[in-house]
Amino acid sequence: MSDLSAVKALAFDVGGTVVDWHEGISSQLAGIGKHKGIEADWVALTKAWRIASLQRALGARTADLPRGNIDGVHREMLDKVLDEAGIDGFDDTDREAMTLFWHRLDPWPDAAAGHARLRKKFTVATLTILSISLIVDVSRRAPFHWDAVISCEMLEAYKLDPSVYRHGARLLALEPHQIMMVAAHDMDLAAARKEGMRTGFIHRPREWGEGTTPVQSPDPATDIVADDLNDFAGKLGA
């Protein structure tokens, strides 16, 4: 492990890294589908919704996104994926409620305890495409107690734009090398590393559901690779 003594803060991706979006969304979609008498492949719809939302948001200018945040993106992409799947029967009220499913995601089993351990030693912040209100809602469920909440909706652009990582460091009043970006996604870590941040990879093999998508592999340049947040905390001496 390289020398990490200069690291003072951890900047977390949230969706997929600390909360389980796949299980949360697919189960809630199945619930509303049953209530409305609508049958569909809710697991496939969950994945399509996530992919479409990421494609719409990643690298975008904030001003170009509906509502300027991921909630607007989720609402817009919900119409798209329902239409493509040929699913009728959900009115505008239903679709607004379904958009808020993303605000009711549970943490991975290890996440709250690992997060609490890390916060005893480091400043712990978010650096995420999720909206501020979404972060607040899922954090109260966990619970997660962040020292700072930084959302791309506060910035001019969305990940993986290099400016996101520079602005994150500026808001924390730290140099990039004093911050470790923590994520389950190597593309996020690679972008952060290019801007001078240290990086920590958390394995989340079930992020896209059981046995459906290959586990993402960390780049050899990653400073810490961990099985979960408790393992990560231990490797950082927290």
Q: What is the pLDDT of residues 177-236, one digit of tens each?
A: 999 999 999 999 999 999 999 999 999 999 999 866 656 778 999 999 999 999 999 999
CATH of domain 9-20+105-235: 3.40.50.1000
Residue range(s) in the chain whose domain bears CATH number 3.40.50.1000: 9-20+105-235
Question: Is pLDDT of 1 > 90?
Answer: no
Domain 21-103: top CATH class: mainly alpha
Rounded Cα gap, residues 108 and 90, in angstroms: 30
List pLDDT tens digits, range 53-82.
Answer: 999 999 999 999 999 999 999 999 999 999
Percent with pLDDT over 90 in the chain: 95
Q: What is the pLDDT of residue 210?
A: 81
Residues sharing a CB contact under 8 Å with residue 200, sequence separation 6 or more, in sequence order: 10, 180, 181, 182, 183, 189, 222, 223, 224, 225, 226, 232, 236
Region of 19 on the Ramachandran plot (φ > 0 left; ψ -120 to 50 alpha; else beta): beta
Q: Which residues of 140-173 are buried (b: 16+ CB within 10 A; e: fewer)?
A: eebebebeebbbbbebebbbbbeebbebbbeebe
Under DSSP, is residue 226 helix (H, G, I), strand (E, B) or coil? Answer: strand
Q: What is the pLDDT of residue 185?
A: 95
Q: What is the pLDDT of residue 115?
A: 98
Residue range(s) in the chain whose domain bears CATH number 1.10.150: 21-103
Q: What is the pLDDT of residue 207?
A: 94
Rounded Cα gap, residues 214 and 208, in angstroms: 9
Which two three-digit tokens encode residue 153?
């909706």
Question: Is pLDDT of 21 > 60?
Answer: yes
Under DSSP, is residue 61 helix (H, G, I), strand (E, B) or coil? Answer: strand
Mean pLDDT of 8-21: 97
pTM: 0.95
Residues sharing a CB contact under 8 Å with residue 175, sequence separation 6 or more, in sequence order: 169, 196
User: How high does pLDDT run on average in the chain?
Assistant: 96
